[in-house]
């Protein structure tokens, strides 16, 4: 019911607004007694209280029972090489054993310069064929290589969006978008619009407003997971936002300063987890930003060595692989798997 004074509920919660007419009626019934039963007088307050308690119990809705959500996150996949196929084979095995509802594809989906059309053979060589045996959606975001090698080519990005209508598993309905599964909101970011901020300033500004729109109201019953291509924190050679590739914040765009500012002002403390690639390794960093956790899973097809030594819960730069997640209610579990089928680490936390 949605009328004034009606019972309203929140997911996983209980009655938060009682129909006042209902309450008054029951209280009146509790207080009405024959005048010749004076010995009941002293029980009237207790009877009224008991009636209200029973009424509130009747208003209670059972807690929402969320189904588990299981997914994979990996990036920097678009090589079409043996390692990409090997990682895909382990993904198939892990999903057969543990379950997978979908994958998050963290950008640089087609090396080295993206696609030139919807019929580009690279769609087959670097996406469809490597993942042919995986029967679930891939929710993709754009990496800097998907825009081209040096200067951003928006046509190439648009081809990746348009390919959604042509593929059974590729899913990128817009350059940034929201998708929800059970009690999780996934915010897919176009971090390349921040990386090339001066060239793509309208896209950069649009994402700020979009994030504020979707993150303005906190809901403790829901997980919020953001993902994009570029890291906020990373031990790889690209490094932390604002200081990418050894550059200083005074160097606009490619230092990642625009991305750092967007995180600091619009994302930190408002999402539970941020997933990315760009650096070709796997790690879960210890440092957080107002409680937001950071993981890099950019070893979907190739590797680069660690060059920084920020503390991590776990990290590896020696073997390609991916992260597998299970979210069940207020619990999140992550497993890091390598291309040889070994689970390297398992951890998680409660919301």
> Quick one: 117 and 189 in the same domain?
yes
> Quick one: 264 and 324 in the same domain?
yes
Q: Which domain holds residue 34?
A: 1-65
> Quick one: 52 and 89 in the same domain?
no
Q: Would you state the pLDDT for residue 247? A: 86
Last residue of one domain, picked from the residues 65, 84, 116: 65
- Counting Cα atoms < 13 Å in the Cβ hemisphere of 95 gives 23
Give pTM, 2 decimals.
0.82
Contact 71, 295 (CB under 8 A): no
216, 141, 335, 245 alpha-carbon torsion, rounded to 10°: -100
Q: Would you state the pLDDT for residue 195? A: 78
> Quick one: 74 and 219 in the same domain?
yes
List the CATH number of the domain containing 90: 3.60.21.10
Show the tokens assigned to 333: 């579990």
Q: Would you state the pLDDT for residue 219? A: 86
Residue 213's CB is within 10 A of a number of other CB atoms, namely: 10
Residue 42 vs residues 47, 232, 261, 288: alpha-carbon distances, Å: 9, 66, 66, 58
> Quick one: 76 and 29 in the same domain?
no
Which residue is it, tokens 């060589």? 125
In the chain, the number of structural domains is: 2
Residue 309's CB is within 10 A of a number of other CB atoms, namely: 7
Angle of helix 20-31 relative to helix 44-59, nearest 10 degrees, comes to 150
CA distance 286 to 234: 11
Last residue of one domain, picked from the residues 65, 88, 121: 65
> Quick one: 276 and 315 in the same domain?
yes
**H/E element, 76:** none
> Quick one: 93 and 59 in the same domain?
no
pLDDT per residue of the chain (351 residues) written in tens, 0 to 9: 333 333 222 333 333 322 333 333 333 333 344 444 444 444 455 545 555 454 444 455 556 789 999 999 999 999 999 999 999 999 999 999 999 999 999 999 999 999 999 999 999 999 999 999 999 999 999 999 999 987 899 999 999 999 999 999 999 999 999 999 999 999 999 998 877 766 687 888 889 999 999 998 878 889 999 999 999 999 999 999 999 998 888 777 788 888 999 999 999 999 999 999 999 999 999 999 999 999 999 999 999 999 999 999 999 999 999 999 999 999 999 999 999 999 999 999 999
- Give the pairing of strands 343-350 and 321-328: unpaired
Last residue of one domain, picked from the residues 65, 84, 105: 65
> Quick one: 13 and 84 in the same domain?
no
> Quick one: 211 and 225 in the same domain?
yes
Which residue is it, tokens 């390794």? 281
CA distance 28 to 34: 13
> Quick one: 54 and 123 in the same domain?
no
Q: Would you state the pLDDT for residue 327? A: 98
**H/E element, 79:** none
Q: Is the peptide bond before 43 cis (omega within 30 degrees of 0)?
A: no
> Quick one: 268 and 245 in the same domain?
yes
> Quick one: 245 and 225 in the same domain?
yes
């Amino acid at each position: 019911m949605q009328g004034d004074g009606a019972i309203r509920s929140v997911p996983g919660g209980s009655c938060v607004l009682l129909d006042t007419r209902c309450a008054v009626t029951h209280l009146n019934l509790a207080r009405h007694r024959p005048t010749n039963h004076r010995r009941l007088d002293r029980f009237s307050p207790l009877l009224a209280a008991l009636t209200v308690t029973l009424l509130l119990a009747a208003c209670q809705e059972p807690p929402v029972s969320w189904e588990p959500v299981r997914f994979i996150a990996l990036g920097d996949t678009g090589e079409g090489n043996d390692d990409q196929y090997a990682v895909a084979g382990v993904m198939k095995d892990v999903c057969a054993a543990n379950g997978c509802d979908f994958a998050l594809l963290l950008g640089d989906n087609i090396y080295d310069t993206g696609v030139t059309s919807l019929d580009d053979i690279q769609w087959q060589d670097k996406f469809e064929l490597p993942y042919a045996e995986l029967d679930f959606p891939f929710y993709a975001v754009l990496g800097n290589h998907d825009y081209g090698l040096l200067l951003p080519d928006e046509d190439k990005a648009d081809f990746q969006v348009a390919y959604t209508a042509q593929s059974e598993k590729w899913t990128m309905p817009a350059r940034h978008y929201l998708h929800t599964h059970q009690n999780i909101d996934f915010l897919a970011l176009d971090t390349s619009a921040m990386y090339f901020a001066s060239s793509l300033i309208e896209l950069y500004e649009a994402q700020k407003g979009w994030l504020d729109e979707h993150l303005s109201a906190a809901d403790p019953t829901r997980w919020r997971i953001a993902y994009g291509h570029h890291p906020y924190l990373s031990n790889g050679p690209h490094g932390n936002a604002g200081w990418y590739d050894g550059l200083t914040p005074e160097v606009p765009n490619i230092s990642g300063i625009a991305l750092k500012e967007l995180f600091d002002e619009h994302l930190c403390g408002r999402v539970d987890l941020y997933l990315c690639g760009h650096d070709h390794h796997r790690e879960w960093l210890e440092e957080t930003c107002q409680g937001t956790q950071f993981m890099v899973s950019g070893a979907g097809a190739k590797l680069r060595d660690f060059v920084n030594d920020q503390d991590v819960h776990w990290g590896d730069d020696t073997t390609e692989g991916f992260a597998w997640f299970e979210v069940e209610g207020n619990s999140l579990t992550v497993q890091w798997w390598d291309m040889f089928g070994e689970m390297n680490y398992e951890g998680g936390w409660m919301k």
